[in-house]
Amino acid sequence: MDQQVTLRPFTRNIAERLAQLANNKNVVAQVRDNFPSPYTLSDAHYWIDFCNGRNNAESFHRAIYYDDEFVGGIGVLRQEDIHRNNAEIGYWLGEPYWGLNITTAAVVQMTDWIFANTSITRLYAGVFETNLASMRVLEKAGYKLEAIHRKAITKNDQVLDEHLFVKLAGE
């Protein structure tokens, strides 16, 4: 039987699992600094409530499930003003599930849904130069490397390049 990847709204019943998977130094090393660390049950409740209160025309957040088990998160944040048809896509996956093509499936599903259901015509993701796995996820999902922003980000006191991947509607 094929393993199934689905995207679903965040719900309170996954809070403990969310905190458990997100409270991982290897996950935190690849995401923005505003991702809590340590990641507590209180952080999980805050995030779930935020997602459920904010799913509107500007942001779309979904829990990633693998065979009916919560394994990570994915979201899209629409930009503003002249950039209103652009949106940033971001995601994370619990370490026990790395290497199973779950994130690629989630990115493909979210990308397809955004282009089919919103006026967003350009999705982009910025990836740390050290995160080769995430670059591969985006390439397999049809995103193209558009730019390398040299020494544009700082993570753990290290100044890194940011690789910008883009997918346009209809590509």
Question: pLDDT (tens digit, 9 = 90+) per residue, 118-144?
Answer: 999 999 999 999 999 999 999 999 999
10 close to 19: Cβ distance less than 8 angstroms: no
Cis peptide before 36 (omega within 30 of 0): no
pLDDT in tens, 65-114: 999 999 999 999 999 999 999 999 999 999 999 999 999 999 999 999 99
What pLDDT digit, counting tens, does each position of 10-53 carry?
999 999 999 999 999 999 999 999 999 999 999 999 999 988 87
**Which of left, alpha, beta for 169 (phi over 0: left; psi -120 to 50: alpha)?**
beta
**φ and ψ of 162, to 5 deg:** -115, 125
If you average pLDDT over every residue of the chain, what do you get? 93
Q: Count Cβ atoms below 10 Å from residue 62 Cβ, excluding itself.
A: 22
d(CA 45, CA 90): 20
* For the chain, percent of residues with pLDDT exceeding 70: 96
Domains of the chain (ranges; CATH) run 5-122 (3.40.630.30)
Q: CA–CA separation, 166 vs 111, rounded Å?
A: 11
Q: What is the pLDDT of residue 1?
A: 39
**Residue 54 reports pLDDT greater than 80:** no
In 3D space, the residue among 58, 56, 96, 65 whose CA is nearest the CA of residue 79 turns out to be 58
Q: Give me 68's structure tokens.
A: 């009916």
**Confidence grade of residue 171 (pLDDT, cut at 50, 70, 90):** confident
Contact 88, 97 (CB under 8 A): no
Neighbours of 77 (CB within 10 A): 15
Identify the DSSP state of 8. E
